[in-house]
């Protein structure tokens, strides 16, 4: 395969990634009567009751559709959305949070269903890939970690939720999606949680490759969604991961001291001497990042 052909395939793939969602009216000009409410219309769905135009007498297709409905697969194909998520993650998130809801399978429902498949896969093939591979020799904390590892979908979403506030603070002046909100950040992390669960299948083979792929997908997703270049995305994402790690570290230190009877009386000192400087360090990082982002945004807006 020549370099010219590779470039042509790459440009075709890039156009597919950046394509704006489009829904064709398959029944334009074809007036029909709704079997449910009797309304005449020329569209894919009845404007009065919302029933699909193709629905008619009950047949084998009706059985398949009702079984799919039981699992929440009745519309907006789960498989199609997963392909979109793997091939154009940032653009898919952009489409969803910008109002194109029908381009995606419902993200929270998708997270739960993917988690069910992961748990079934682990049960059938006797493999394991914990959300938190930690052990502290403290019964109360280890019980919490065991519970977290048994609730993969919600635990993954909880861990990803740590990135919501840092993302809002660091990327709020992004050129492609400025002024994004915390609820939008929540759905961004839901999609990333699904990606995280999909990469678990790679982790069964090699956890190091899974970790590298996760970092690459995080970078690609943030770049496609917010519009910074590679370097601008990488260092900002590094700030987010650093801030999330600081929050997690502080939480672990405080919990360890609270559950250790010998050190319970030192918890106030830990708060003063550990949390204080760490919070100050995080604030300085955020302030510097804020200044850089605001200056970059104002400079780009003047062009």
pLDDT digits (tens, 9 = 90+) for 52-61: 777 666 666 6
pLDDT score at 282:
77
pLDDT score at 225:
93
Tens digits of per-residue pLDDT, 230-275? 999 999 999 998 888 887 777 766 666 666 555 555 555 555 666 6
pLDDT score at 172:
84
Residues in the chain predicted with pLDDT less than 50, given as ranges, are none
Contact assessment for residue 55 and residue 35, using Cβ atoms and an 8 Å cutoff: yes
90 closest CA partner among 241, 217, 239, 233: 217
Phi first, then psi: give them for residue 41, nearest 5 degrees: -155, 165
pLDDT score at 189:
93
Contact assessment for residue 188 and residue 237, using Cβ atoms and an 8 Å cutoff: no
pLDDT score at 195:
93
Specify the long-range contacts of residues 290-294, CB closer than 8 Å, at least 24 apart. 290/169, 293/170, 293/171, 293/172, 293/173, 293/174, 293/236, 294/173
236 closest CA partner among 281, 290, 195: 290
Give helix 89-97 / helix 207-226 axis angle, nearest 10°. 50
pLDDT score at 173:
85
pLDDT score at 201:
87
State the pTM of this model. Answer: 0.79
pLDDT score at 25:
62
The full set of domain ranges for the chain reads 77-301
Length of the chain: 303
**How is residue 141 written in tokens?**
């904390």
């Amino acid at each position: 395969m020549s370099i010219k052909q590779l470039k042509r395939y790459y440009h075709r793939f890039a156009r597919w990634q950046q394509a704006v969602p489009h829904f064709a009216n398959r029944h334009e000009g074809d007036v029909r009567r709704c079997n449910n409410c009797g309304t005449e219309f020329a569209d894919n769905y009845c404007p009065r009751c919302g029933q699909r135009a193709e629905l008619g007498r009950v047949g084998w297709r009706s059985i398949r559709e009702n079984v799919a409905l039981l699992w929440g697969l009745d519309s907006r194909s789960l498989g199609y959305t997963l392909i979109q998520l793997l091939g154009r993650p940032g653009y898919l998130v952009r489409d969803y949070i910008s109002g194109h809801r029908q381009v995606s399978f419902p993200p929270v429902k998708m997270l739960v269903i993917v988690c069910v498949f992961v748990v079934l896969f682990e049960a059938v093939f006797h493999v394991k890939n914990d959300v938190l591979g930690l052990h502290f020799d403290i019964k109360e904390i280890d019980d919490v970690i065991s519970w977290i590892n048994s609730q993969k979908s919600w635990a993954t979403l909880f861990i990803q939720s740590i990135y919501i506030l840092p993302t809002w603070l660091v990327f709020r002046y992004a050129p492609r999606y400025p002024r994004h909100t915390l609820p939008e950040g929540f759905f961004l992390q839901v999609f990333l949680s699904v990606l995280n669960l999909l990469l678990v299948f790679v982790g069964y083979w090699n956890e190091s490759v899974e970790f590298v792929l996760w970092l690459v997908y995080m970078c690609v997703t943030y770049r496609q969604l917010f519009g910074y270049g590679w370097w601008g995305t990488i260092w900002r994402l590094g700030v987010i991961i650093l801030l999330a790690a600081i929050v997690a570290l502080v939480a672990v230190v405080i919990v360890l001291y609270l559950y250790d009877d010998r050190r319970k009386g030192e918890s106030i000192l830990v708060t003063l001497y550990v949390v204080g400087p760490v919070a100050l360090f995080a604030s300085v990082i955020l302030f510097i990042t804020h200044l850089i982002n605001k200056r970059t945004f104002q400079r780009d807006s003047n062009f």
